[in-house]
Chains A and B, each alone.
Chain A
Amino acid sequence: MLDLKKIRADFPILKREVNGKPLVYFDNAATSQTPQQVIDVIIDYYSNYNANIHRGVHALSQEATDKYEAARHTIQKHFNAKHAHEIIYTSGTTHSINLIANGFASLLKKGDEIIVSALEHHSNIVPWQMLCEKTGAILKVIPMNQDGELVMHEYDNLLNENTKLVFTNHISNALGTINPIEEIINKAHQVGAAVLIDGAQACPHVKPDVQDLDVDFYVASAHKMCGPTGVGMLYGKEEWLNKLPPYQGGGEMIAEVSFTKTTYAGLPHKFEAGTPNICGGIAFGAAIDYMNTIGFDAIAKYEHELLEYATKALIEIEGLKIYGTANNKTSVVSFNLEGIHPYDVGTILDKLGIAVRTGHHCAQPIMDFFKIPGTVRASFAFYNTKEEIDALVSGVKKAKMMLS
C-alpha cells in the first residue's frame, strides 16, 4: 500500500492552484512532476559543488565527477546493465535514438531492412526514415489492430535475413499499450538483427532488466520518471557500443589528438562529447533512488487500480470512446467525446484546473489509423488519487454539457 498523503507531500507542485481550482495533474506521460528530494539535489549541486567534470584537479571538480559517476552506477544498477560504461548519458530519449540511428549509418547497406512498430512517437520514425534515405535500407512497419495492439504474426512475416535492426517502444505514449518486447527481441535475434527499445513511457511504471531482456539497446528520459528535463540515457551492450562510431566530436570523447590522427576515448566517453548536463545526470540518479524507495511493484499495482477506476467511470459517459483497449496497458486513458473536438474538451478541463494532453500526441500515424484529429489523454502517476479521477470525470461531463 502506498502512503498517498506522504507521497503527495513530497511534490510541492501538487499544492498549487490553476484557474482558482486545485491542480489535477494528468499529463504524466508528457512529463512527470519532481519530488522535493530531487529538487534538493539540484539546489545542492548549484549551491555547493558546481564544477566541470573529468578534468579538474580541484576539489569541486572531483566532487562533481564522483557524484556524476555515482549516478551512472545508480542507473546501471536500476536497469541491471552488466557494466557502468554501457550506460551513456544523453539529453533524452530522442537524442539516444538519433545516436544509434547515426551509428547504424555506417553499418547498413542498400537492401538491408529496419522494422519499426505502428505505435511509434514521431521521434521514433523520423530518424529511421533519414537513415534509410542515407543508406538505401528499407523501412518496414509492424501493423496494429483496432485495440492498439501490434499484430505479431505480421511481425513474423517481416523478419528475414536482411533485417538488421528492430525498433519499437516498450509502451505506447498515445495509447498506453504494453508491447510484447521479450517476443520481439527473441525473434529478432533469431535472424541476427539488433533490437532498440524506447523505454520513455515504460520507465515510470516498470523496472526493465536489460540483461534479462537480452535487449541490445534500451533508451529512456529522466523527466518521465521524476527527474529533470534535458537528460536521459542510452543503454547498449558493450560489443554493440564498441561497433558504433562516435556520434559527435568534441572534448571528453578523445584519447589523443594530433592533426593527423585522433584516438577515441573508451566507453562511455566516446559518446559523451562536450560538457554534459552534470546536474541533470546527478538528479537523474536521485530520481531513480526516489522511485525505488516507493517501489515499482507498489507503483504498478496502484496505477493499475487508478486505470481501472478511471476506465470504468469514463466509459459510463454516453458518447465517450476510449482509444487503446489492449489487454496489457499502462495507466493512460486516451478518449474522445462523440462529435466534440479534443481541443475543446482540453480547454474546458484546463479551466477546471485539470491538466490533460490533447492532440495527436506526436503519433500522427496512430490518429490516422483511427481517423480522428487527436484525443484527450489522461495519464496517471503514483501520486494521483481516485478523488482526482472523480474531478476528471465530472469535468468531462461538464465539458460535454457545455459543448454539445
Chain B
Amino acid sequence: MNIQEIQNEIIEEFSMFEDWEERYQYMIDLGKTLPLIEAQYKTEDNIIKGCQSKVWVHAELKEDKIAFTADSDAIITKGIIAILIRVFSNQHPAAILEANTDFIDQIGLKEHLSPTRANGLVSMIKQLKLYAIAYQTQLN
C-alpha cells in the first residue's frame, strides 16, 4: 500500500470510534502491545528530547525503502508513533518526502502534533523526513 492508501485506511478505522475515549484507548493499546524498536537502538544518539516525553527513532534502508522503528517513554506518544510508523515505514524516500500528516487532524489527534506540545512528535516527523533526504541522496 502507498502512503495515501494507508492514511485512508487509518481514517476509516478511526471513524468507527464514537468518542475520544475509544480513540485514546485504541492508541494506548497500540502503545502497549507493539514492540517498536530493538533495545540496541534505544541509544542517546537516537533520542529526540521533547520537554515532556522522550522519543527514540532508528532508520534502515532495505531494498530502496526505509524501515523505521521508534519508541517513547510515554504510552500515548508511543501509540501515535505506532500510527506514524505504519504510515511512513517501508516506503520509498521520495514518497516519504512528499507525504504530509494532515490525516492526523482527521482522526482527532491534531493537538498531539502541535509544535508547542513538546512531546517530541513534531521533531520525530522532522527526523523521519531528514532520514528520507539522506537516503534519497544515497540512492541517487
User: Is B13 an interface residue when CB atoms closer than 8 A count as contact?
Assistant: no
Known: A373-B73, A403-B75. A343 touches B25 (CB 8 A): no
Select which of B25, B51, B52, B73 is within 8 A of A402 by beta carbon.
B25
Besides A344-B75, A358-B52, 13 other A-B contacts (C-beta < 8 A): A340-B75, A341-B73, A341-B74, A343-B119, A344-B77, A347-B76, A348-B24, A351-B20, A351-B21, A359-B52, A360-B51, A374-B52, A402-B25
By size class, the interface of chain A is 10 to 19
How close is B134's CB to chain A, nearest CB, in angstroms? 29
Known: A373-B73, A403-B75. A343 touches B24 (CB 8 A): no
**A373 and chain B: residue at smallest CB distance:** B73
**B51 and chain A: residue at smallest CB distance:** A359
- Bound complex: CA of A189 vs CA of B25, how far in Å? 57
Q: Is the CB of A402 within 8 A of B24?
A: yes
**B77 and chain A: residue at smallest CB distance:** A343
Ordered nearest first, which 10 A-B pairs have the shortest CB separation? A341-B74, A343-B74, A343-B52, A343-B53, A344-B76, A359-B52, A344-B74, A347-B76, A344-B75, A351-B20
Chain B CB count within 10 A is highest, among A341, A358, A402, for A341
User: Per-residue CB proximity of B89-126 to A under 8 Å, as 1/0?
Assistant: 00000000000000000000000000000110000000
Known: A343-B74, A344-B75. A403 touches B53 (CB 8 A): no
User: Is B61 an interface residue when CB atoms closer than 8 A count as contact?
Assistant: no
User: Is B28 an interface residue when CB atoms closer than 8 A count as contact?
Assistant: yes
Chain B CB count within 10 A is highest, among A343, A348, A360, A373, for A343
User: Is A19 an interface residue when CB atoms closer than 8 A count as contact?
Assistant: yes
Report B-chain residues with C-beta under 8 Å of the C-beta of A373. Answer: 53-54, 73
User: Per-residue CB proximity of A362-404 to B under 8 Å, as 1/0?
Assistant: 0000000000011000000000000000000000000000110
Known: A19-B20, A351-B20. A341 touches B28 (CB 8 A): no
- Bound complex: CA of A359 vs CA of B25, how far in Å? 22
Report A-chain residues with C-beta under 8 Å of the C-beta of B54. Answer: 373
**A19 and chain B: residue at smallest CB distance:** B20
How close is A41's CB to chain B, nearest CB, in angstroms? 29
Chain B CB count within 10 A is highest, among A340, A344, A348, A359, for A344
Q: Is the CB of A402 within 8 A of B28?
A: yes
In A330-354, the 8 Å CB interface with B consists of 340-344, 347-348, 351
Q: Is the CB of B20 within 8 A of A403?
A: no
